[in-house]
Amino acid sequence: NAGVTQTPKFQVLKTGQSMTLQCAQDMNHEYMSWYRQDPGMGLRLIHYSVGAGITDQGEVPNGYNVSRSTTEDFPLRLLSAAPSQTSVYFCASSRDRSEGNTIYFGEGSWLTVV
């Protein structure tokens, strides 16, 4: 049981390039989400999904796209990277939307846009 797996762990992009951060979970969790964390700050929600085929925006969605074609995978796409997107990205998953549910996080993806 690997939990929540993120790839790549480190990435450097040039401004305007596109890339996809991968997130996979093997716990059959319905709910998945992406957060970003800037230096010295708490995590902020980018996008989330309550199940396959369903996605919605979080607090800071601009510049990011997501899709959820399977229960296991929830990739985050940067279509045209900007220096403001330099951050650490965390993927999270949980069993469902019910109260008292534990949310599990991946180990993070460090992205630098130059």
Least CB distance to another protein at residue 16 (A): 28
Compare residues 17 and 37 and give the one whose CB is closer to another protein: 37
Least Cβ distance, residue 15 to another protein (angstroms) = 25
Q: Cα angle vertex 61, ends 80, 70, to 5°?
A: 90
User: Whose Cβ is closer to another protein: residue 15's or residue 96's?
Assistant: 96
Residues that bind another protein (CB under 8 A): 4, 31, 33, 35, 41-45, 48, 58, 90, 92, 94, 96-108
Is the peptide bond between 8 and the residue preceding it cis, with omega within 30 degrees of 0?
A: yes
CA 3, CA 24: separation in Å to the nearest integer? 8
Given the structure tokens 């396959």, which residue do they identify?
Answer: 52
